[in-house]
C-alpha cells in the first residue's frame, strides 16, 4: 500500500467509531489513482460529513500529499462490495 493510502486510512480511522473495519484499497486508472475507503455502514455518515464537508477535506489532504498528479477518493460502505 502506498503512503497516500496509509495516510488516508490513518485519518479515517481517527474519525470513525469502528476503526478496525476501515480499509483503503488502491487502483490505478488511466487518469490517475483511485483510493476507495471502505467503512462500516454506521460510520458512513461520519466520514462523508454534513454536506460532504469531511469527505471534501479528506480529498483535499490527499491531493496535497500526492506527488503523482490526479488522485480520486471514493467512500464506500461495507454493504456495497
Query: Domain residue spans in the chain?
Result: 3-77
C-alpha distances in Å from residue 28, one per residue of 8, 32, 34, 56: 16, 6, 6, 21
pLDDT tens track for 22-73? 999 999 999 889 999 999 999 999 999 999 999 999 999 999 998 877 899 9
Over the range 1-13, which residues count as b (16 or more CB within 10 Å of their CB) and which as e?
A: eeebbebbbebbb
> What's the whole-model pTM score?
0.87
CATH number of 3-77: 3.30.300.20
Strands 23-29 and 71-77: unpaired
The 3-class SS string of the chain reads CCHHHHHHHHHHHHHCCCHHHCEEEEEEECCEEEEEEEECHHHHHHHHCHHHHHHHHHHHHHHHHCCCCCEEEEEEECCCC
* pLDDT higher than 70, residue 76: yes
Amino acid at each position: 500500500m502506498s503512503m497516500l493510502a496509509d495516510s488516508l486510512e490513518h485519518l479515517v480511522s481517527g474519525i470513525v467509531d469502528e476503526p478496525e473495519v476501515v480499509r483503503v484499497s488502491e487502483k490505478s486508472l488511466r487518469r490517475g489513482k483511485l483510493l476507495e475507503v471502505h467503512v462500516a455502514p454506521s460510520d458512513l455518515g461520519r466520514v462523508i460529513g454534513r454536506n460532504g464537508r469531511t469527505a471534501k477535506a479528506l480529498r483535499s489532504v490527499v491531493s496535497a500529499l500526492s506527488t503523482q498528479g490526479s488522485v480520486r477518493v471514493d467512500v464506500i460502505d461495507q454493504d456495497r462490495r
